[in-house]
């Protein structure tokens, strides 16, 4: 068995100081490390407390990364050096070769850590933004000017929204050979807006348990296996069901949870996501544990959000279920609006593509949506917040 050591990660350019240790992590010659942020003691302690049970881990583990799952307590995904190398090499193969990476995400999350690990594999120096106080898109032009060769970065959708509101930042992103976009679902209008601006968007799907993104634009990276369980195949060659991922990048399991059902099948990770395959291309329909039961029917929030996102007044949106004495749960939506919008407008818009069951019964206007981890919507926090607000009629 191996021992686990903390890897303290500074903010900004000082994070480059950990690169020599990451060389050893990738080689499998160092003790396994747990990344924690130096500048956020509360988050660092949360990670220490959550991942503390027992001091020993799998012998092959090189990196233990906290998940950003739907519960408040993270689990520790144990990743081997070979899994990390396989992920980085497959990414470069898909994107067109090694290049220079821009780090614009916290490096204690897998997406940010992978930017640094890919830089080590590419033998290039990463350019690092200080996101300790949040993402500032105005810093992008100067950062891009410091990069050479093929240029890559990873962002989450909320960062892309901010960048597209800044003309100089938009131009800077258009200079990248690829902008990986993951961490949360990307609304179609946001993606179309970015593509229209000349930005080379690559949608990624993956998680800490798969060493980060392992499916790019719906197609698995080399070495990644994909199947959908409990699904069906119809005459249109569409398969749907629970997403299960396998292959070289899958974690060894969760630290301190040797019998966790997500890793019950060796070499595979059973996600909580519902997906659909169309001609071999994966699309994520939503999380199985976030479905809303309303009046005896099931509504998948992400499906409704995708439909609402095409409304011109919707900048960002999130759909949740609130307790209801008659329906069990009622479907409601929180909107970050770009112009005036009413509940009637949204219900009419939903009716164009979805059944009336999916139409929100209440509208809440908010300044921002709560997020957790690397830009993922925090539905639990949002649900609690909405219980204290008055809906817009």
∠ Cα 305 166 159 (to 5°): 45
pLDDT tens digit sequence for 320-353:
999 988 888 999 999 999 999 999 999 999 989 8
Q: Do 61 and 152 have their domain in common?
A: yes
Q: Do 33 and 139 have their domain in common?
A: yes
* Closest of 302, 308, 309 to residue 286, by C-alpha: 302
C-alpha 245/C-alpha 252 separation (Å) is: 13
Q: Do 123 and 95 have their domain in common?
A: yes
- Report the predicted TM-score, pTM, of the whole model to 2 decimal places: 0.82
Q: Do 212 and 303 have their domain in common?
A: no
Q: Which domain holds residue 317?
A: 291-386
pLDDT tens digit sequence for 245-297:
999 999 999 988 889 999 999 999 999 998 999 998 999 888 888 888 888 77
Single out the residue in 255, 284, 313 at which a domain terminates. 284
pLDDT tens digit sequence for 79-121:
999 999 999 999 999 999 999 999 999 999 999 999 999 999 9
C-alpha 273/C-alpha 283 separation (Å) is: 10
Cβ-based burial of 195 (10 A; exposed 0-12, middle 13-18, buried ≥19): exposed
- Which are the contacts of 115, defined by CB distance < 8 A and separation ≥ 6? 101, 102, 103, 105, 107, 126, 153, 154
CATH code assigned at 12:
3.40.50.12780
Q: Do 237 and 353 have their domain in common?
A: no
């Amino acid at each position: 068995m191996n021992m686990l050591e903390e890897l303290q990660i500074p903010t900004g350019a000082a994070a480059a100081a950990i690169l020599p240790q990451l060389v050893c992590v990738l080689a499998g010659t160092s003790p396994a490390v747990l990344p924690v942020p130096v500048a956020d003691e509360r988050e660092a302690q949360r990670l220490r407390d959550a991942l503390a049970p027992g001091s020993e881990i799998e012998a092959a583990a090189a990196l233990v990364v906290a998940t950003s799952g739907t519960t408040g307590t993270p689990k520790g995904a144990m990743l081997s050096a070979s899994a990390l190398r396989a992920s980085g090499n497959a990414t470069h193969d898909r994107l067109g070769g090694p290049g220079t990476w821009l780090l614009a995400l916290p490096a204690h999350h897998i997406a940010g850590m992978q930017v640094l690990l890919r830089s080590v594999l590419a033998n290039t120096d990463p350019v690092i933004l200080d996101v300790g106080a949040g993402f500032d898109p105005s810093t992008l032009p100067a950062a891009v000017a410091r990069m050479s060769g093929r240029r890559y970065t990873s962002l989450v959708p909320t960062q892309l929204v901010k960048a597209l509101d800044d003309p100089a930042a938009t131009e800077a992103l258009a200079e990248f050979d690829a902008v990986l976009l993951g961490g949360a679902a990307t609304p179609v209008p946001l993606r179309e807006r970015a593509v229209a601006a000349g930005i080379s968007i690559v949608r990624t799907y993956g998680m800490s348990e798969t060493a980060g993104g392992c499916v790019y634009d719906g197609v698995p990276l080399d070495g990644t296996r994909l199947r959908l369980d409990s699904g069906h195949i119809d005459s249109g060659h569409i398969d749907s069901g629970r997403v299960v991922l396998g292959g070289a990048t899958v974690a060894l399991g969760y630290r301190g949870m040797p019998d966790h059902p997500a890793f019950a099948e060796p070499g595979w990770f059973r996600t909580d996501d519902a997906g659909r395959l169309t001609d071999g291309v994966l699309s994520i329909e939503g999380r199985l544990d976030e479905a809303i039961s309303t009046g005896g029917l099931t509504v998948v929030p992400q499906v409704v959000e995708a439909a609402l996102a095409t409304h011109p007044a919707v900048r960002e949106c999130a759909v949740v279920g609130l307790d209801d004495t008659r329906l069990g749960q009622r479907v409601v939506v929180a909107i970050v609006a770009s112009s005036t919008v009413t509940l009637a407008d949204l219900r009419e818009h939903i009716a164009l593509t979805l059944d009336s069951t999916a139409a929100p019964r209440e509208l809440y206007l908010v300044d921002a949506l709560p997020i957790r981890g690397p830009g993922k919507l925090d539905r639990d926090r949002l649900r609690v917040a909405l219980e204290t607000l008055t809906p817009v009629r």
